[in-house]
Amino acid sequence: MKIALVGNPNVGKSTVFNVLTGSNQQVGNWAGKTVERKSGIIQRATQTIEMIDLPGTYSLTAYSQEEIITREYILRENPDVVMAMVDASNIERNLYLVLQILELAPRVVIGLNMMDLAQSSGITIHSSELAKALNVPVVEIVAAKGKGIEEFLTEAIRVGMLAEDPLPGKVPYPEDLEVKVQDMERLLATNSWATRYPLRWLALKRLERDPEIGQEWKTSVPRPTHSKDKDSCCELGDGASYELQKTTVLPGEDLLQKYEDEGWSKDHFEMAFADAKYQYISQILPKFRTHLNPTKPTWTDLIDVWALSPIWGYPIMFAVLAFVFWGSFVASAPLGGAISQGMAWAAERVVSILQWAQVPDFVLSLVRDGIFAGVGAVLAFVPQIAIFFAFFSLMQDSGYLARAAFLGDRFMQVMGLHGKSFFSLVSGFGCNVPGIMATRTLEDPKDRLITMLLNPLIPCVPRLGVMSAVVAAFFPGSRGSVVMLSLLMLSMLLVMFSALFLRRVVKQTERSAFVMELPLYHIPTFRNILLPTWQKTYSFLKRAWTFILVASIVVWVLSSYPQGVSMEATWAGKMGGWLTFIGEPLGFDWRIMVAIVFGFAAKETTLSTLGILYGVAADASQSIAQAMTGAMTPLNAYTFLVVYMLYIPCLASVVTTYKESGSLGWTSFGVAYNLILSFIMGWIVFHGGQVLGFH
């Protein structure tokens, strides 16, 4: 059995999907699209069920990839049943999508979620009356607490196994509009191409001149060619025969032209159908919904008075973000130190065992100075990453992240960006890869591209971890806080400058307005926080034990051979020598240049590379940074921090940018831009500092 899970954004679809599918999930992209595809397998008794979590969308028009993907899946894949999620606290908006789904799919089950939030707002939904009004089964659920989810699935299985399709309620359109719909239905009923779609839905789409339907017709009907078949062509005056060109015209074109002459344009039909659906919802709403104390403010209203205030909203937002960063980088420090000490202890035990086994010295060096020094330094970041993503999931699931995006829209406007770009840039503080993927929420492809190119300028957790270690070594005490803050401020200023610059490079059409629905506040469940936190942390750990392990071994080999020579004479030293002409104007020695090169593979490897090159075996990241103090002045260190914060994004970010943009040219431009910008800023900082007398 194949089940499609559909609903507006923020209705709890992901919670239901995660509960039902558990670990049996596959995540990727829809073919030829940049929208995420989630599918999972459910086993119930002897039945195997494939569940597809379709993109959250407010409607099924053809204005965004999410809308097109959702309706194309329902039309072409023909799922056995559609599970439609509805927010009980905002049911009027949600039912608009449900009515559109009922025009596409005959087998639908409604999951009435957030019943607890609706009740706390004084809203009572009578699910049995809603089921009668739409002639569709309705199941009450509270997804955040796991209530009703199994019953929702059981009802979907029952409907999917019915011998005949049920007859859901039909939206009654005004008489003059209904006449036009029926005229189009009769015309399309004679066309074999139209049989692949629900006839009434296709009639509505043709009246709206839906562009995707037009494209589907053009790609599915062969274009006419020269022919002398008298049945398919006509005689012209010169005796030549040509196939009738009218076969390339979409069905109903003449009828549409007639309506347009009467004043019924594409937009007129679209607005008329939408208005009719909302009028129908308003008519049936009193049958199943009662609203007590409508003037009593909800908890969401009371909190938003402060959280969305033009005066207090921004200080609150900055305080929340400051707490997130404090928890990620300060509170996590003891855990990171404990991991470093644990790795040092493990390195000693493993090396002692290998010495007892009398293994060759180069193996001991590989284990101690390569594997444990490299991977150990990186694993110290795990608490930072886990805590940051836990906070991020908490903000997202509680409903506050949407408010932060709303407040951030003003800053985005200054940069000429869409408010939804705020999601991407904030995500970039955790990792640039999900930050780049978060641009999928932007409808305008030019806004998406600009935000993708800006995201690597946001220092991610691994970069911030390396930076905090270097800052602590060179700028102890309160000076470190000032230095770290200055680096973050520089990053933000360069993001603003780059956004204005890229708006001139990337030609944009007029930007769409920033419109988003603010979900009600609610207390997130541990599952909804811990599951995404674990998934992202596990992804990082996999990289640490695979890619970063290999990178550490490669760095050890390059820095150890040829044996019996000084570090400068090794392969890594020679590589650094080749890059001296780049590093010298910035005050960098060859070790820093080699670390910067290997940092392209993954930012975490910068610290592991420095640990190997400076001979700090599996010790705390603080010790690695302190080892740098003998080779660098504070001005050199600050220059390194600026370059490291801004230069080429990691390999995973570059690959993700290419996949999301589909353009090798723009991906290459982004890499070159970051590289050039970082070294220009580094040169300015280094030489400007010398002029001002800093050392």
Which amino acids are annotated as binding site for Mg(2+), given as ranges?
18, 21-22
Max Cα distance, the chain (Å): 101
Alpha-carbon gap, residue 173 to 181, rounded angstroms: 9
Alpha-carbon gap, residue 219 to 193, rounded angstroms: 12
Under a CB-based contact definition with an 8 Å cutoff, are residues 671 and 654 in contact? yes
Buried b (16+ CB within 10 A) or exposed e, 177-209: beebbebbbebbeeeeebeebbebbbbbbbbbb
Helix axes 461-474, 478-505, angle to 10 degrees: 140
Alpha-carbon gap, residue 407 to 321, rounded angstroms: 13
Question: Radius of gyration over alpha carbons of the chain, in Å?
Answer: 30
Alpha-carbon gap, residue 81 to 422, rounded angstroms: 36
> Which residues are known binding-site members?
7-14, 18, 21-22, 32-36, 53-56, 113-116, 142-144
Chain centroid, CA 115 distance in Å: 28
> Which residues are known binding-site members for GTP?
7-14, 32-36, 53-56, 113-116, 142-144
With residue 49 as reference, give the H or E element that holds it: strand 47-53
CA dist 322 → 532, 637, 641 (Å):
22, 25, 21
Among candidate residues 491, 392, 498, 411, the one with its CA nearest the CA of residue 449 = 498
DSSP code of residue 238: T
- For residue 485, give both structure tokens: 């803050």
Residue ranges of alpha helices (H) inside 571-620 are 571-578, 580-583, 590-599, 604-613
DSSP 199-236: HHHHHHHHHTT-HHHHHHHHHHSPPP-----TTTEEE-
Pairing of strands 47-53, 138-140: unpaired
First and final C-alpha spacing in the chain: 70
CA dist 342 → 224, 258, 372, 540, 616 (Å):
74, 79, 11, 19, 15
